[in-house]
A and B are shown apart, each in its own frame.
Chain A
Amino acid sequence: MSIAVSIENLSFTYAGKENPALKNIQARIEEGSFICIMGHGGAGKSSLCYALNALIPKFFRGSYLGRVVVKGNEVSKQTVSRLSRQVGLVLQDFEAQLFSTNVELEMAFGPENHALPRLEIKKRIQYYLKSIGLEHFGQRQPATLSGGQKQRLAIGSVLTMEPDTLVLDEPTTDLDPKGAEEVLAVAQGLRQENRTLVMVAPEPEIAMDADRIWLMRDGELIAQGPPNEILTDTSKLISCGVKPPSLLELFQSLGWPGKPMSIVQALTLIEQHQLFPQRKQIPPPLSSGQIKGPYILQAEDLEYVYPFQGIKALQGINLTIGEGEFVALLGQNGSGKTTLAKHCNGLLKPTTGRMLVQGKTTSAYSHKELAQKVGYIFQNPDHQIFARTVEEEIGFGLKVLGIDSKTIQRRVTEALEVVGLQGYEKEIPFTLTKGERQRVAVASVLAVQPQVIILDEPTTGLDYGHQRHMMDLLRDLNQKGHTIIIITHSMWVAAEYAGRTIVLKEGCIVLDGPTRSVFADESKLAEASLAPPPLVQMSNRLGLEALTLKQMVQELKR
């Protein structure tokens, strides 16, 4: 096998930064192989991707040592645009890289730049539209596509340049489970065409099919090898902020033989070694609909139609949420999760029906009053951060409410303590990491001390360590009496933390109940294009009640 890319002792420090983003990277990519890069946030995964197509050092300046060689050509001696014939890079944020007015033109842009003849471009567009499964979308506006379709288009727009090596930076992070599946299917198809594929993978389940996995920590490539070697080293994975494969973790904690990566493998192992008497029945659904405290949120026949498009986003939602609950809202993009959540703090007003907060309709409150009762944290913390210091940022909501400065100071300190950012008062919010900025956003809502806290995708874009940190924080707040509602695509987060799970599909609630019984109904979940996390699937197969690793180990040891 010939070598597609070789990275030789590469180090890079961004101009103006002290710590290097990449440290002595030494690696080779064989032609036609599939490499997965894993690591914590800020480990240098994206930087490594940029180094492959010359964005580093051509677009990003800094001190560059060592070299990267693609097909015998040194990357740093080429321009990004010339290298685009050999290395295609799909950036993480697919929204920002689509700019044409229809799908066809988006895919034509690369070959247009290479000055290919029009007929050839046409041929390529037709061919690659098929490989990304968008044959019938040639004339559609990219903005009207779903997330998964947009990401596939982003991949397609790079494929038409026919690069030998394709680099995908976290192609599934911002997608719902269905969209992620679609994108992975495209990647799978590309592998069969013998293209060299480099992918930054946030979850181990994606990396299982890789030929080799590169594990990164603090700019260093600390391990590389085949999946069954890298993914089985649980402690090393955790030290790199990567979630270990849950079934493997289960087998290791129980001391069971074998290293299963999939449900099928695990079940065969169990049968082979007769590890556990398989019970056939699915656990009885726990009593549903019991609500602890008094109602805090009530939706009555809530319908919502978006004014400009006339799309009915919610169709007759009836829902009561009690004080002190921890609720997860699940569903595909466009199922109405966010629309429903935005009704809870009055950002949207029902078209028909009512939304009550503590027994009063949301329209009877002012935004100010509602903000004190229901806090809402948007997915992207950068949409709200504006102040010069963390202190000012967190105190903003309180200042707006007209609270005196002494109380503000006290509450800011408290809120920072809760999110674990003590002493950050004078820091500049924009210089913090994504995880820290997210926590600043949470603190700024916490400081107002609302009873209900709603979070849109609190774990997206965070690595495993930070996801845990964020969710543990929410659990603490819940135990202190706050009602927590999260919108999430991450099934294990819902399984492990939420007491109650609500599944939406096309503006209707299809499942609502204790998380355990919702995840037991795999067929209904599948209708909403969702599936329980592997561990819960296992639990369902074995007839257990466990939702988390700990519970499962306990139950199986009994």
Chain B
Amino acid sequence: MNIFLYLDKETWIHRLDPRTKLISAVILFGICLCFNHPVYLAVISAGIFFLGLWARALSNFWKLRYILLLLILFSSILWPFFVSGPTRWWGWGPFAISRESAFYGLAMGLRLSTFVGIGLIFLSTTRNEELTNGLIRLGVPYPLAFALSTALRLVPTFVGAGATIIQAQVSRGLDLESGNIFRRIGKFIPQAVPLFIYAIHHTNYLAMALESKGFDPKAKRTFYYEPKMQRIDFMVLGFFVLLLFVLLYMRLGLGLGVIIKGRL
């Protein structure tokens, strides 16, 4: 089963320098934080969705559709209880919902799923090696960058092993479908133990393989894929920086896109 997020396509977003993509992702996160009005955030979300379309990464959005929807749903339901606004809609004891708090909840849902969307586009268009490379060029030490990308790389491997382990235990009659929450948690022990052992064994083995291939975190090394900042990279970065400043001015200077004051 292919559980990697990277999609090997030929788009201009794929070809961008990993540094550009890393910095742009950070700027985009910042842009998401500019407003807390759902209409403004909806525009930003639509923009990200459009970028996803352009990067031909929508299949990954589809893969994670439940997570994205759940984020919106939970935020919209839970946030309204934790903030208050002037236009009261409903109240019961300490619980109250206002028009503003409901909108704020919706905005937070959009913001969270847009965060995930930005991350998705980044991972769908950037190879693991490019990520490592980008981080190193941004000044992250090689061992750290390598550890991070290896951790990312191991997630699908462990998910796969976990699936096999669940099947093996279900084959022995382990019933994961019934019982209350506490009993269910107890049922995870037969899976957690083999998974731990597998993880330890696997990482140890990987370390052996790395050393056998001459890996030495302190030594000088070549990077086979050498990304170069091109004109388009500077244009993209320039555009996002400009956009960030414009939006910051709209929020801070003009006070636009705010549903509840004094909150991010």
User: Do these two chains really belong together in a complex?
Assistant: yes
User: Interface on A for B, CB 8 Å cutoff?
Assistant: 53, 55, 58-59, 79-82, 84-85, 88-89, 91, 93, 96-97, 99-102, 104-105, 108-118, 121-122, 139, 141, 143-144, 157-158, 161, 306, 308-309, 342, 345, 347, 366-368, 371-372, 375-378, 380, 382-387, 396-397, 400-401, 430, 444-445, 448
CA distance A97 to B208 in the complex (A): 8
Q: B126 to nearest A CB, angstroms?
A: 10
CA distance A105 to B223 in the complex (A): 10
Given A382-B194, A384-B168, also A55-B208 (CB < 8 A): yes
A105 with B129: CB separation less than 8 A: yes
Contacts of A383 in B (CB 8 A): 161, 164-165, 168, 194, 198
A-B contact pairs, 7 of them (CB 8 A): A55-B208, A81-B219, A116-B222, A118-B222, A306-B1, A375-B171, A378-B164
Q: B8 to nearest A CB, angstroms?
A: 7
B234 in the interface (beta carbon within 8 A): no
Contacts of B4 in A (CB 8 A): 101, 141, 143
Given A101-B128, A113-B219, A386-B189, also A89-B212 (CB < 8 A): yes
Q: Which 6 A-B pairs have the closest CB atoms?
A: A371-B173, A97-B209, A386-B193, A108-B224, A84-B214, A113-B214
CA distance A445 to B169 in the complex (A): 11
Contacts of A89 in B (CB 8 A): 212
B175, B190, B206: the one contacting A368 at CB < 8 Å is B175
A347 with B211: CB separation less than 8 A: no
Contacts of A91 in B (CB 8 A): 205, 208-209, 212
Contacts of A387 in B (CB 8 A): 193
Beyond A110-B213, A375-B172, 16 extra complex contacts between A and B, CB < 8 Å: A55-B208, A84-B211, A85-B214, A91-B209, A97-B206, A113-B214, A118-B222, A118-B226, A139-B8, A141-B2, A143-B4, A309-B1, A366-B175, A378-B167, A383-B165, A400-B174
**Which residues of B in the span 14-52 have a Cβ within 8 Å of any Cβ on A?**
none
B207 in the interface (beta carbon within 8 A): yes
CA distance A66 to B26 in the complex (A): 56
Question: Which of B165, B171, B192: most chain A Cβ within 10 A?
Answer: B171
A113, A306, A309: the one contacting B216 at CB < 8 Å is A113
**Which residues of B in the span 192-246 have a Cβ within 8 Å of any Cβ on A?**
192-194, 197-198, 201-202, 205-209, 211-216, 219-226
B213 with A84: CB separation less than 8 A: yes
CA distance A444 to B226 in the complex (A): 53
B8, B127, B205, B213: the one contacting A96 at CB < 8 Å is B205
B212 with A101: CB separation less than 8 A: no
Contacts of B173 in A (CB 8 A): 367-368, 371-372, 397, 400-401, 448
CA distance A444 to B194 in the complex (A): 15
Q: A432 to nearest B CB, angstroms?
A: 13
Contacts of B215 in A (CB 8 A): 81, 109, 113
CA distance A554 to B215 in the complex (A): 58
* Residue of B whose beta carbon sits closest to that of A381: B168
B252 in the interface (beta carbon within 8 A): no
Contacts of A347 in B (CB 8 A): 167, 170-171
B172 with A397: CB separation less than 8 A: yes
Question: Which of B129, B177, B223: most chain A Cβ within 10 A?
Answer: B129
CA distance A382 to B190 in the complex (A): 11
Given A378-B164, A384-B169, also A308-B224 (CB < 8 A): no
A109 with B169: CB separation less than 8 A: no
A99 with B150: CB separation less than 8 A: yes
A88, A118, A382: the one contacting B198 at CB < 8 Å is A382
User: Interface on B for A, CB 8 Å cutoff?
Assistant: 1-2, 4, 6, 8, 127-129, 150, 153, 161, 164-165, 167-175, 177, 189-194, 197-198, 201-202, 205-209, 211-216, 219-226
CA distance A430 to B214 in the complex (A): 31
Q: A2 to nearest B CB, angstroms?
A: 24
Contacts of B213 in A (CB 8 A): 84, 109-110, 113, 157-158, 161
Given A101-B128, A112-B224, also A59-B208 (CB < 8 A): yes
A345 with B171: CB separation less than 8 A: yes
* Residue of A whose beta carbon sits closest to that of B212: A89
Q: A126 to nearest B CB, angstroms?
A: 13
B6, B208, B212, B225: the one contacting A88 at CB < 8 Å is B212
* Residue of B whose beta carbon sits closest to that of A55: B208
* Residue of B whose beta carbon sits closest to that of A89: B212
* Residue of B whose beta carbon sits closest to that of A144: B2
CA distance A356 to B216 in the complex (A): 56
CA distance A383 to B224 in the complex (A): 37
Q: A21 to nearest B CB, angstroms?
A: 15
Given A110-B214, A116-B222, A141-B4, also A378-B168 (CB < 8 A): yes
* Residue of B whose beta carbon sits closest to that of A398: B173
CA distance A15 to B45 in the complex (A): 56
B129, B172, B216: the one contacting A400 at CB < 8 Å is B172
CA distance A85 to B197 in the complex (A): 32
CA distance A366 to B261 in the complex (A): 55
A448 with B175: CB separation less than 8 A: no
Q: A200 to nearest B CB, angstroms?
A: 15
Question: Which of B191, B206, B222: most chain A Cβ within 10 A?
Answer: B222
* Residue of A whose beta carbon sits closest to that of B226: A118
Given A55-B208, A85-B214, A397-B172, also A99-B194 (CB < 8 A): no
Q: B210 to nearest A CB, angstroms?
A: 8
Given A81-B219, A384-B169, A448-B172, also A308-B1 (CB < 8 A): yes
Q: B175 to nearest A CB, angstroms?
A: 5
B198 with A81: CB separation less than 8 A: no
CA distance A314 to B207 in the complex (A): 38
CA distance A377 to B168 in the complex (A): 7
B221 with A93: CB separation less than 8 A: no
Contacts of A345 in B (CB 8 A): 171
Contacts of A309 in B (CB 8 A): 1-2
Contacts of B168 in A (CB 8 A): 376, 378, 383-384
B222 with A400: CB separation less than 8 A: no
Q: B221 to nearest A CB, angstroms?
A: 5
A105 with B225: CB separation less than 8 A: yes
CA distance A367 to B211 in the complex (A): 44
Contacts of B191 in A (CB 8 A): 386
B197 with A382: CB separation less than 8 A: yes
A104, A115, A430: the one contacting B221 at CB < 8 Å is A115
